[in-house]
Structure 1
């Protein structure tokens, strides 16, 4: 499947900066190691707690020279910091193959939700392992407490692959996730979809308390479509941005809404 994330560097310093109204720097935090690290998301809740996610290989130094070593290929670090940049905790998840976190969102009740992809097995906590496939990409949605404890995790996969790219909370306490998939994808009991051609887009709502799927929408054609991000407004309307090729009907049914590209690919909102 196509990936939008090409931010791989020999050395990347994950910096979080907080500014005053006059743009004065208040603090900077660094995560680094001898190989490749990249920060992929940050979220702040109403209590001014800061959560960020990083993917890394090898050994990285976080705070007070404490080191974290990946179990194989890329692993994931989840950090919680105060508004002053004081580290509260760090949690590592990952397996022997590539694991990538793409997005994070913190809720007002100080829970945090992370989405990403993995292959084979994903080690989440002592004795807690999420099983996937060795030859295809599966996706996860993970909910942690404010102290870093695992509250629940959900796996979404297909016979070819599922990439969850974005997650948000909504005003009615639900989660909205979006991403890309190929083949026949399973999003929980009574929620499965089949791609119409190459890669299609999915938008799904989850119960934030349980992680169960409550809504699923597909955007697709005989060609390939991709999304990397969405957002939700105060009225719980969902806005999705992405790209498509050739022709795409955004409203299959009697009142179709077909758009045609002017070149190789066009952007939609």
Structure 2
């Protein structure tokens, strides 16, 4: 499994993963209207600003599904992971209000003034499971996500200021003097297991 890093022209495929059956998953950002079916079919998604996408293809590169998440600002995708049950996780940064449910329902997250970290989970059919955000009024970013053998979620990136890394009702604040590294572990349901930081 590997990643393709982003380039800065047009629509961007930033990450690619392969599941245990050989299906391909691509994540990134797009704007306006994009046909995500690489074959003769048409599967358009319509962006509002610069939005996030996740695309699933079979082992031959045929379209299975594509999902869009976003708001009216610019979202960025930096990390993608797939667990043993083919659930799909993405991370990056966003600003303003973003609907992370790609279906008919709405699940809005709102940043705390600057760019915030997000982590999102979709199931094997691209249906929304959960999403969390973390941030202060500075620039924070989720850079990479990985899944361990128990399907726990490991997330790393950078943060500044004081950030509550507990997505639940509890509070677990870490404070960075400038921009520090964080390493966050969540269970498969998105609950905090632990978080650590490293920096000057």
TM-score, structure 1 normalization? 0.60
1:100 aligns with 2:12: yes
**1:155 and 2:71 are equivalent in the alignment:** no
Structure 1 counterpart of 2:50, from 132, 137, 159: 137
In structure 1, list runs of 5 or more residues that go unmatched: 1-42, 45-51, 57-72, 75-97
Point out where structure 2 has 5 or more consecutive residues left out of the alignment.
184-200
1:193-204 equivalence runs, <5 A: 193-204=109-120
Structure-2 change in CA distance of 1:245 and 1:55 (3 Å) = closer
Q: Distance in 2 between matches of 1:144 and 1:156?
A: 18
After superposition, what is the alpha-carbon deviation per residue over 1:156-198, rounded to whole angstroms, capped at 9, x for unaligned? 1112122222111113331111111111101122422111111
Q: Considering only aligned residues, what root-mean-square deviation do their CA atoms show, in Å?
A: 2.2
Using the TM superposition, give the Cα deviation of residue 124 of structure 1 relative to its aligned residue in structure 2, in angstroms. 2.4
- Corresponding residue for residue 24 of structure 2: 112
Matched ranges for 1:181-260 at <5 A: 181-188=94-101, 189-208=105-124, 210-251=125-166, 255-260=170-175
Structure with higher Rg: it is 1
Q: Which has the higher contact order (CA 8 A, sep 6+)?
A: 2
- State whether residues 6 and 13 of structure 2, in contact with CA within 8 Å, keep that contact through their aligned partners in structure 1: yes
TM-score by length of 2: 0.79
Change (3 A) 1:253 1:151: closer
2:93 matched to 1:180? yes
Runs of 4+ in 1 over 6 A off after TM superposition: none
Separation in structure 2 between the aligned mates of residue 132 and residue 254 of structure 1, nearest angstrom: 32
In the alignment of these two chains, the number of paired residues is 177
How far 1:128 moved relative to its partner? 2.8
